[in-house]
Structure 1
Amino acid sequence: MLLDTHGRIARDLRVSLTDRCNLRCTYCMPEEGLRWLARPELLTDDEIVRLVSVAVTELGVTEVRFTGGEPLLRPGLAGIVARCAALAPRPRLSLTSNGIGLARTARALRAAGLDRVNVSLDTLRPAVFRALTRRDRHHDVIAGLDAARTAGLLPVKVNSVLMRGVNDDEAPELLDWALRHGYELRFIEQMPLDAQHGWQRADMVTAAEILEALRARFSLTPEPSTVRGSAPAERWLVDGGPARVGVIASVTRPFCRVCDRTRLTADGQVRACLFAREESDLRTALRSGAGDEEIARLWRTAMWGKKAGAGLDEASFVQPERPMSAIGG
C-alpha cells in the first residue's frame, strides 16, 4: 500500500499524459503558453502503462484518472486506456479534459474502457469563455459534453472555477444548466497553481460565496460526511435530490486529512501532494532497468513522507514551481 506517516492510504492515482494544452486559461498560464516538455522527457506509452500496472498490482491503487495539460492531445490515448483497462484487478478509469476533442473521441474512449469524464467549463457565455481561455472554442466544449453523455461516459462531471468580476455571477445559471442536461456540477475554488504566480486569496471566489449564491435559487441539503469519504467535493442534494452539486474548497476548507491521492507527472515524477515542492523520480529508475519491486519501493518511500497538509494558511507557504498544467489535476 501507499501509506504515509499520518495513516492515509493513496488509492487514487492521477496520471498526467502531457503538459500541453490547447487553451490558455488566464488562471493557469500566460497567453503565449509555456515551455513544453521535450519528447524524450515524456514517459512513453509503455512506461505509463508499466507504472500504472505497478500502482494497481503492487500498491493497491483502485482509481486511475488521466489528466494533463489536456490529455486528449496525447497520441495513442485510447490504446493507453485499453491496456490499463485490461489490468487485473481492473482499476476504475476516468479522464479530466477541457472537452475540446471529446466530440470525436468519446465513443472510442468508451470502447477502450474509459468509465467516465470530468470536463472543465467555467461559463455558459461564449464571450466570457473567449476572455477566460483566449480561444473561441465554447461550442466545442458543449459538443464534447453531449458526446460524452451519449457515449455512456457517466456520470459526466463538469468542473467550474469562478473568477471575481468575470463569471462569479454564473453559479445559479451553471447549476440550472447542469441539472437540465444531466451533468454533475462541481465548483472549484481557484488555487495558487498558476504559471504566472499571480494568485491572490482576496480575488478568489470562496465556497461560502458560491453556496450563498446557489441558495438564492435552490434548496441545498448537505450529504452526510460518511457519504463523502475521501472525495474532494463536499456535496449537496439540490431541491431534495437526487441531483447533486459539489464544491471543492481546497483553499478555505481543505480535505488533506482524508486525501487518498498520488500523482504522476508526464515526465515520470511522483508528487505526494498537489502543492508539494518535492518530487520523486521514477522515470530514471524505469529507464535504468529497475524491476517492479524496486519501482514500488521508490513509490512507497515518496508517499511515506507526505506532509499532513498543503499548508496554504501558513506564512511559510510557497507556491509550487510547476503550474497545474505541468502537474496534472
Structure 2
Amino acid sequence: MERCSVAQQQLEDIYHRKFYYLRLSVTDVCNFKCTYCLPDGYKPSGRRNSSFLNLPEISRVVKAFADCGTSKVRITGGEPTLRKDFTEIVNVISQTQGIEKVAMTTNGYRMKRQVEDWRQAGLSHINVSVDSLDPRLFHQITGENKFHDVMDGIERAFEVGYEQVKVNVVLMKDLNHHQLPQFLQWIKTRPIQLRFIELMQTGEMNDLFKNHHVSGVAIRNQLIANGWLLKPRGQSDGPAQVFYHPDYLGEIGLIMPYEKDFCETCNRLRVSAMGKLHLCLFGEHGVDLRDLLEDDTQEAQLIERIQHHLQTKKVSHFLHDGNTGMTPHLASIGG
C-alpha cells in the first residue's frame, strides 16, 4: 500500500489536530514500584487467553500509522525492556518506511548492558525516569535500590553515541520538588534534557495526587527569571515546553497537563500492549484493533477504523474536573 496522501489519509481529528506521533506500549509489566504508578508492584490483570502484541502485529500497526503520516514511534510499557524481543521490536519499527524517530521510555535498569544493542537496532531517542539524584530518595520513590545502575546506564548511552538523553522527573511536593538546584548542576555540563512532569491524577492514585501534586509554573517562572529561553516546538515533539540557557549544555522541559490549552497541540495517539487504540491517556475506553492485525491484507480496514474513531476524540482531557477516565495507573497504557 502506498503512503497515504495528506489530503486523503493524514490522521486528523475534527479540531484539525494532526497526529505524527504514536506511543506504542509493548507490555504493562514493570519491575519497579514507583509511588505514583505501581506502589504495590505489578499485578497481573487476570486476563484469560490473552497476550501482548507479537512482533508481526507490532509491525502491522506501525506500518498503518506510518502510511498515514506518523513519523515518530515511542515504545513504552510498563517497562518495555522486559520484553525478551525488545531489540527485535526496535529493529522492526526502525525499518518501517516513513518512521524517522524511534524513541523509548524506560526505568533504565538494563541500559548499561544493552543500550549499544538498542542503538544498533535503530533506537534514536531515549527517555529515562530518574525522580531524584539522592540514592535514598530514589529508592524510596521507585521501590528499587537501582540508582547507580540507572546513572551508569545514562553515561553508557553517551559512550555509545547518543548525543542527548532525556530524563523524566515526576514532580512531587514534599519529596523531590525542592531539588531543582541539584538537577540544574547535573545538567550544566551534560547534554541531558531534564523533563519535569506534573503528577497526574489516575484512578488508583487520588490520595497521592491530593497530597503531592505541585504545579510546574513556579519552576517555569524561576527558569525565565534566570535567563532560560523557550525553544520552538517541532512537529513530532511531545507536550513539553523546552527551555535552554547559553551557560548550560543541558535543557529543561516542563510537562504541565493542568495548564490551559495543554491539549491544543496534541499530536499523539496511543496503542496499548493488548492492541487497543487510546485517543487520550485519560479517555473512557479503548478501541480494539487486534482483529485487524492478523495478516497483511487488513491495513485498509485498520486505517479506516482508526480514522473513524479519531473523529470522536475530545477537544481536551477532563482532569480539571477530577475525571481521570478509565486509566487505573500510568503503566496500564504506557503513560
TM-score (norm 2): 0.89
Q: Name structure 2 gaps, 5 residues minimum.
A: 1-9
> In 2, are the aligned partners of 1:98 and 1:120 still within 8 Å (CA)?
yes
Percentage identity across paired residues of the two chains: 31
Asked if structure 2 preserves the Cα contact closer than 8 Å seen for 1:130 and 1:137, the reply is: yes
Q: Does the residue aligned with 1:235 lie in a helix, a strand or coil?
A: strand
Contact 1:171 1:213 in 2 (8 A): no
Note the aligned Cα RMSD (angstroms). 2.3
Q: Give 1:297's aligned residue.
A: 304
Give the CA deviation at 1:312: 1.7
Code of the residue aligned with 1:122 in structure 2: it is D
1:53 aligns with 2:63: yes
Match of 1:280 in 2: 287
Q: Helix, strand or coil: the match of 2:207?
A: coil
Q: Which residue in the other structure is 1:219 paired with?
A: 227
**Alignment: residue pair count:** 325
Match of 2:212 in 1: 203
Deviation at 1:176, TM superposition (A): 1.6
What amino acid sits opposite 2:321 in the alignment? E
Aligned partner of 2:130 in structure 1 is 121
Inter-partner Cα distance in structure 2 for 1:69 and 1:114: 18
> Which of 301, 324, 333 is the equivalent residue of 1:327?
333
- How far does the alpha carbon of each residue in 1:183-229 deviate from its partner, in whole angstroms, 9 at most, with x for none? 1111111111363443435631211122355568x4322335x6688
User: Are the counterparts in 1 of residues 188 and 247 from structure 2 also a CA contact under 8 Å?
Assistant: no
Query: CA deviation digits over 1:6-30, x for unaligned, max 9?
Result: 1111110000011011110001123
AA aligned opposite 2:311: W
**Unaligned residue ranges in structure 1 (runs of 5+):** none
> How do residues 3-152 of structure 1 correspond to structure 2 at under 5 angstroms?
3-36=12-45, 40-57=50-67, 59-152=68-161
Tell me the secondary structure at the aligned position of residue 33 of structure 2: coil
- Distance change >3 Å, CA 37–CA 112, structure 1 → 2: farther
User: In 2, Cα distance between the equivalents of 1:322 and 1:202?
Assistant: 18
The aligned amino acid for 1:293 is: A
Deviation at 1:182, TM superposition (A): 2.1
1:84–1:91 CA contact under 8 A, matched in 2: no
- Counterpart CA distance in 1 for 2:236 and 2:19 is 13
Spell out, residue by residue over 1:65-90, the C-alpha distance to the aligned partner (whole angstroms, 9 max, x if none).
00110111111111111122112223
2:278 aligned residue (263, 271, 284): 271
Q: How far does residue 96 in structure 1 lie from its aligned partner after superposition?
A: 0.7
- Equivalent-residue separation in structure 1 for 2:316 and 2:274 (angstroms): 25
CA separation in 2, counterparts of 1:323 and 1:290? Answer: 35
Structure 1 CA distance, aligned partners of 2:327 and 2:74? Answer: 23
Q: Matches of 1:88 and 1:229 in 2, distance apart?
A: 16
Q: What's the secondary structure of 2:320's corresponding residue?
A: coil
Q: CA deviation at 1:171?
A: 1.4
Letter of the 1:221 partner, please give it: L
Give the distance between the partners of 2:35 and 2:205, measured in 1 at CA: 9
1:38-80 CA-partner distances (Å, limit 9, x unpaired): 58331111111111111112x2111000011011111111111
In 1, are the aligned partners of 2:32 and 2:41 still within 8 Å (CA)?
no
